[in-house]
Amino acid sequence: MFDEMTVQCFLKNQLQLYPEKVAETYEEAENFLEECMAVVVDSVKEVWDFFVEEGIDVEGADEEEILEADEVFEIGDGRYLIVEG
């Protein structure tokens, strides 16, 4: 379900969301993302829309603040991984 770039991004940056690693290997990271129903979106607008749909208060927030949320991981190719903590 998640491509290699997405899983590697999470594996490398998981400590931005969790106080300790939840995955040590690629397979563990992939399984964790599937279990917590992480989402990959294609743009900042889709990150914003996801937050609104989930009922997360974004009123008064700007794009930079949304992207700095611990749950949002920039994959590096214009996509974003959202992992609910």
Condensed to tens digits (0 to 9), the pLDDT of residues 31-75 reads: 999 999 999 999 999 999 999 999 988 888 888 899 999 999 999
Above 90 in pLDDT, residue 85? no
* Max Cα-Cα span within the chain: 38
From CA 79, how far away is CA 10, in angstroms rounded? Answer: 13
The candidate with the shortest Cα–Cα distance to 5, out of 75, 70, 67, is 75
Q: Give the amino acid at 8.
A: Q
Per-domain residue ranges for the chain? 4-82
